[in-house]
Amino acid sequence: MKKLLILIILFINLVFAQDISRYYQDIREDNIDKVRRSLPDLIRKYPHNPDVLFLSALVEPDGDKALLIYKDVMSQYPNSSRADDALAKIIEYMYTKGLYQKTIDYSKQLITKYPNSDKIGDCVYMILGSFNVMNQKDSVDYYHNHYLKRYPNMKLPYLEYKSVSTYLISDKPPASKAPVQQPQRVEKPAITSGQKWVLQVGAFGNPQNALALKNQLTSWGYNPYIQKIKGSKHDLLSVRVGNYASREEANRAGERLKALHHIEYIVIKRNLWE
């Protein structure tokens, strides 16, 4: 009887794992609305489940509401397999909002509480990026060396820090590479005039903030660039990503970016020389 009970539990866990992984695959394939429609049934079938709660945060369009859900995962299920993932999402949110000291504090919390997490490399990256934006170069050097000694096998993309002036910020940036993480379902472009579209994910008066967002997008596998634009009173630095053949394609990519990282975006026409 005991063996039968164990087999039943294992079977239920296997079915759940297959069920939930299907929805994460839907997110990767831009079927975000499908996941949102399925959530009520998932919550009914698997109440009080950290994986389902985390999934609901991923597809929540409101970043502030998603943040609260991630915090619920952290507080209610601190020992679950999703706890460090939820904390990593909180850290991403703080970083993209320019809350760099909170980014550092939460990152150190993750490293201390979940020393075996696969998110540690991302945390170290954001610690270094936050200190860099705050112009604390000595701290960048210290923590760069500290964490490389502590995790000698860690793949750390943060090779060096540079001042913003060494980055190209001009009216005409170089041609960007093909965008990463394009939607897998490709439809015929609605526009045949050759007009291209791009996602603008931020516009900043402070160059350090623009660079911080650019670096974050790069760490996620995108190829962003910074473009100088005219503001109402002064020039701004626009952070852009992508090169899409139609507005519809750009919107799909933007919704995926928003679902995965809770970054707001607008779709704009891409200049011919970009």
In a domain, 176, yes or no: no
Q: Which of 161, 184, 211 is the last residue of a domain?
A: 161
My answer on whether 197 and 155 are in the same domain is: no
Domain boundary among 112, 142, 161: 161
Tell me if 131 is assigned to some domain: yes
Per-residue CA distances from 244 to 7, 179, 230, 241, 257 (Å): 49, 9, 23, 10, 14
Positive or negative: CA dihedral 193, 199, 205, 209: negative
pLDDT at residue 84, as a whole number: 96
Q: Assess if residue 240 is contained within a domain.
A: yes
In a domain, 261, yes or no: yes
User: Do 132 and 201 have their domain in common?
Assistant: no
Residues 149 and 205 in one domain: no
pLDDT at position 11: 38
pLDDT digits (tens, 9 = 90+) for 132-168: 888 888 898 899 889 989 998 887 655 444 433 333 3
- Of 24-28, 79-83, 166-170, highest mean pLDDT: 79-83
User: What is the tally of structural domains in the chain?
Assistant: 2
70 and 131 share one domain: yes
Q: Which of 171-175, 206-210, 212-216, 257-261 shows the lowest per-residue confidence on average (mean pLDDT)?
A: 171-175
pLDDT surpassing 80 at residue 113: yes
**Which residue range is the domain that position 85 belongs to?**
58-161
Residue 128 burial (CB count, 10 A):
25
User: Could you tell me which residue, 192 or 59, shows the higher pLDDT?
Assistant: 59
Q: Please give the span between the terminal C-alpha atoms of the chain, in angstroms, as a whole number.
A: 68
The average pLDDT across 13-27 equals 68
Residue 92 maps to a domain: yes
**pLDDT confidence tier of residue 16, bands split at 50, 70 and 90:** very low
Residues 227-243: tens digit of each pLDDT: 888 877 778 899 999 99
Q: Do both 156 and 218 map to the same domain? A: no
Widest CA span in the chain: 76
pLDDT of residue 18: 56
Share of the chain above pLDDT 70, in %: 77
Confirm if 220 and 261 have CB atoms less than 8 A apart. Answer: yes
Instruction: Let me know whether 155 and 199 are in one domain.
Output: no
What is the domain-level CATH number for residue 137? 1.25.40.10
- Cut 0.85: pTM above it: no
Picking from 108, 139, 161, the residue at the C-terminal end of a domain is: 161
Domain contains 251: yes
* Domain CATH for 249: 3.30.70.1070
Residue 235 lies in a domain: yes
pLDDT at 70: 96
Instruction: Identify the band that residue 88 occupies on the pLDDT scale cut at 50, 70 and 90.
Output: very high
